[in-house]
Each structure stands twice: as structure tokens, then as C-alpha cells.
Amino acid sequence: MTATDIPHTRKRGVWDRIGYEERSALVFLAPVMAVLMAVAVFPILYSFYISLFRIKLTRPNRQPFIWFENYTDLLGDHEFWMSVGRTVTFTVTSVAAIAVISLLIALLLNEQFRGRRFLSTILLIPWAIPYVANALMWKWIYDSGYGALNGVLYQLDFIDKYMVWLGDQDKTLMLIANAFVWKEVPLATILLLVTLKSIPDDLYAAARVDGATVWQRFVHVTLPAMRPGFMLVMIYETMMAIRHFDLFFVLTEGGPGSASHVLSWHIYVETFRNLSFGSGAAMSYVLALATFGLSYFFIRTLGRRM
């Protein structure tokens, strides 16, 4: 910061006093701040304001201010808590499956062999496919009349007649999770692979000198060293799973019964089918706060470990 940076011909106002670095940073950051204020900060505050009203678009002329009633109503809303439970089930299952599958794939791709590049390229396909197209694809695979899943199982003699898949409440959530996992695994694999490659070879050499078997090396060297990568995958995929909506919309619309009626679907129904914008905003606020809380917790844990 040199004195020549400050134009001496002008009167020195607040603007000049904060220094050239601060000023240019301000200018460079202004657009991004303006955009984020408009599309993130303001909407979130506005959402809170809306959640204090009983807004029903089917009754446009009656929208009383009701303080926190939308929130207190949620406490006793059985359906809401059931949907929270389903979201937790979906998230835990998906994230666990993603962690295991992507670890296996990352270990494979960490080896040197012919065709490795081909594999890592096709692995990007699920990641690139739009979620709606992914949903469309799995809906057709799971189709109980003509789907591929029934076809394969039938031809391999695992089943002797076609089964109901998405329509079976005991299977629905897991089948949707499977479609989610298939699409999310590539990203998780990439993240884990980067961590794997960053493990110094000396660690393995040292373990080998100590006479450790392959399995012992994996458990005592590889796994601990991959902790940061795992934490990252957990955070990212948890966030993705909690808010996920597209697959539920296309595959089941929350059904059958309410077997796949997860929180994000509940918010959608409350807001855009029942047109209760007030309580819909309250629910999404709860979801946003929960997500914030979770990420804070994760980041704290991650920060300590790394």
C-alpha cells in the first residue's frame, strides 16, 4: 500500500480512508455480495416473515398474522415428524451405501491396469445425467409390468413371477435410495480417490517393513488416512440426501400410502398442493436451520480431525 495510490486531488472521505486494498476488494466483491443478498439472504429473511402469517392462496383475502403458530403447529404435526423420520432413514441408508461403494471403486481405480481410464470416464455418466432423466430411467427399470429389474430377476430364475417394486411400501424408500446412490457414487469416488492418491508411499513402505499384511495395511494405514475424504463425502452427500426432491417427485409422489413421503415432498405438498405458503415456509425454515446445524457440527468435527 503506497501513498501514490491515494489521489491527492480529491477530498478525503470515508471512501479514501479505508485504503486501496479495502477499496478494490470492496469493488470486486460488490457484485457477488449484491447477488447473494438478493438470491439468498433476502429470501431467507423474507421466508421467515412469511412463516409468521397464515397464508393460503385459495383464500387470498384472509391472511392473518399469527406469530409463531405455524411453528408450534409443527410440534404436534404427526405427518411432519413421520416425514422427518423417513428423510433420516433415506439419508442414513444412502450415505452409508455411497461411502462403501465409492470406497471400493476408489480402491479399484487407485490401481494401475489397462482400461482404468475408460472406467473413470464412464463413471462420469451417472454424475452428468440430469436427476429427472435418472428418475425416468429408474422408473422404467422398476416398472412392475415391463421393467428390466423384473426381467433380469425372472430370466435368472430369482423370481417365478413379476413383482411389484415401487408400489411395495417396504421396498419403495430403498429403491429410491438406490437410484440416488447410483447417481451420487461418482462424485464421492472422485473425492475419495484424491484422498487416496495423497497418502504418502512411505507410510505403506514402513508398514511393509513391519511385516503388515495387505489387509493390515488397509486397516491401519489406508482407512485412517482417508478420514478427511470420508468426512467430506459424508457432509456433502448428507446435505444432498436431506434436501433431495426430484426422485420422489417422478418415482412415487410420496406413495404408496405415505411410504416415501419425505420432508422435502411434505414441504412441496403443503406449499404447492395445499397452497399453505405460511406453514410451508415454516417447514422449510426448520429444514434450513437443521441443515445449518448439521453442517456446523460436521465442519467442527472435520476441522478438529484435519
Say how many residues make up the chain.
306
**Minimum distance between the CB of residue 202 and other proteins, rounded to whole angstroms?**
22
**Minimum distance between the CB of residue 96 and other proteins, rounded to whole angstroms?**
17
Non-local (6+) Cβ contacts of 108 within 8 A are: 119
Q: How far apart are CA 95 and CA 241, in angstroms?
A: 8
Nearer to other proteins, 89 or 256 (CB): 256
Nearer to other proteins, 112 or 209 (CB): 112
Q: Helices 172-197 & 131-142, crossing angle to 10 degrees?
A: 130
**Minimum distance between the CB of residue 218 and other proteins, rounded to whole angstroms?**
13
Non-local (6+) Cβ contacts of 249 within 8 A are: 135, 265, 268
Nearer to other proteins, 38 or 223 (CB): 38
Nearer to other proteins, 273 or 304 (CB): 273
Of 287, 292, 277, 296, which is closest to residue 46 (Cα–Cα)? 277
**Minimum distance between the CB of residue 67 and other proteins, rounded to whole angstroms?**
17
**Minimum distance between the CB of residue 87 and other proteins, rounded to whole angstroms?**
11
Nearer to other proteins, 67 or 118 (CB): 118
